[in-house]
């Protein structure tokens, strides 16, 4: 993997085949800055270009907050270059949508505003039992516009409307009931380990191509989706991992994945 760009606001660590990205702005409740946005985008790009990286875990430093959203204290979070057709936060969501490396949100505390976008852009999310989730932008005269693009497919419309219009949060138990997160636990790392333990022994090739397929068909109509998946299923069977997986099944042994 190429050398990691240095930033004191986003820590990057490889734990075996898993890239851990920690927003390290605990004094600002891990609010998003330009450096954090750039660092997340760069890291996810490198993960997708490195077959040795099997997953990316995104979290916040400490236990109080996963991410509080934009840094309102800086006074610059909502100053845009209106000549630029694409904005940094939106581009990160686009990048996550194209990622074929699984992204896991480790929600270790308050997940607010833009933090909801970071959580929602991930393929899976686990939360601490004390985590809270909210879209409080209306309280400061704003609205979670970009976040709607990644949250809209996860929450029922009436629930999403209530959260946006009232600014009132939900707790971890409600988030689990609404399928906003996969698991909730007093020990959030136990949930992360549970997911990783059941993912890392599976075919890397199947997961990467499978995520590509899942994300491609999300916005397709039924017939378009069926035509696309018909074209993909044969490609799955052509991989070395597919041949090895079927051979291992017949020989009653654990497969040795090549990731190809």
Buried b (16+ CB within 10 A) or exposed e, 160-173: beebbeebebbbbe
What share of the chain in percent tops pLDDT 90?
89
Question: According to the model, what pLDDT value does residue 7 have?
Answer: 67
Instruction: Yes or no: say if 236 and 209 are a contact pair by the CB < 8 Å rule.
Output: yes
Question: According to the model, what pLDDT value does residue 3 have?
Answer: 47
pLDDT (average), residues 176-187: 98
Give tens-digit pLDDT for 184-226: 999 999 999 999 999 999 999 999 999 999 999 999 999 999 9
Is a pLDDT exceeding 80 seen at residue 12? yes
What share of the chain in percent tops pLDDT 70?
92
Per-residue pLDDT band at 232 (split at 50, 70, 90): very high
Per-residue pLDDT band at 81 (split at 50, 70, 90): low
Give tens-digit pLDDT for 131-151: 999 999 999 999 999 999 999
Instruction: Yes or no: say if 82 and 128 are a contact pair by the CB < 8 Å rule.
Output: no
From the list 223, 125, 207, the residue with the least C-alpha distance to 215 is 207
Is a pLDDT exceeding 60 seen at residue 75? no
Question: According to the model, what pLDDT value does residue 79 have?
Answer: 59
Is a pLDDT exceeding 60 seen at residue 39? yes
| pLDDT averaged over every residue in the chain | 93
From the list 98, 101, 100, 37, the residue with the least C-alpha distance to 67 is 37
Q: What is the CB neighbour count within 10 angstroms for residue 29?
A: 21
pLDDT (average), residues 94-110: 98
pLDDT (average), residues 160-179: 98
Question: According to the model, what pLDDT value does residue 74 have?
Answer: 63
Structural element, H or E, at residue 124:
strand 124-128
Question: According to the model, what pLDDT value does residue 73 have?
Answer: 72
Instruction: Yes or no: say if 124 and 195 are a contact pair by the CB < 8 Å rule.
Output: yes
The dihedral over CA atoms of 99, 50, 16, 199, expressed in degrees to the nearest 10, equals 40
């Amino acid at each position: 993997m190429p050398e990691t760009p240095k930033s004191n606001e986003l820590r990057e660590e490889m734990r075996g085949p898993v890239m851990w990205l920690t927003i390290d702005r605990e004094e600002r409740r891990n609010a998003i800055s330009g450096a954090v946005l750039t660092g997340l985008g760069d890291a996810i790009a490198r993960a997708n270009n490195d077959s040795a990286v099997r997953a990316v875990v995104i979290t916040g430093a400490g236990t109080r907050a996963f991410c509080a959203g934009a840094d309102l204290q800086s006074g610059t979070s909502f100053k845009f270059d209106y000549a630029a057709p694409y904005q940094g936060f939106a581009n990160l969501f686009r990048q996550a949508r194209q990622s074929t490396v699984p992204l896991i949100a480790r929600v270790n505390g308050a997940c607010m505003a833009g933090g909801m976008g970071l959580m929602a852009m991930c393929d899976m999310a686990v939360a601490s039992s004390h985590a809270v989730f909210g879209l409080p932008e209306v309280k400061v005269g704003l609205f979670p516009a970009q976040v709607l693009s990644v949250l809209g497919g996860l929450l029922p419309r009436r629930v999403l409307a209530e959260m946006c219009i009232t600014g009132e949060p939900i707790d971890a138990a409600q988030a689990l009931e609404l399928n906003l997160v996969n698991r909730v636990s007093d020990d959030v790392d136990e949930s992360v380990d549970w997911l990783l333990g059941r993912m890392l022994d599976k075919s890397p090739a199947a997961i990467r191509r499978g995520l590509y397929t899942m994300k491609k068909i999300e916005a397709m109509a039924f017939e378009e989706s069926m035509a696309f998946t018909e074209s993909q299923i044969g490609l799955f069977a052509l991989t070395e991992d597919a041949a090895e997986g079927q051979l291992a099944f017949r020989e009653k042994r654990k497969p040795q994945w090549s990731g190809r």
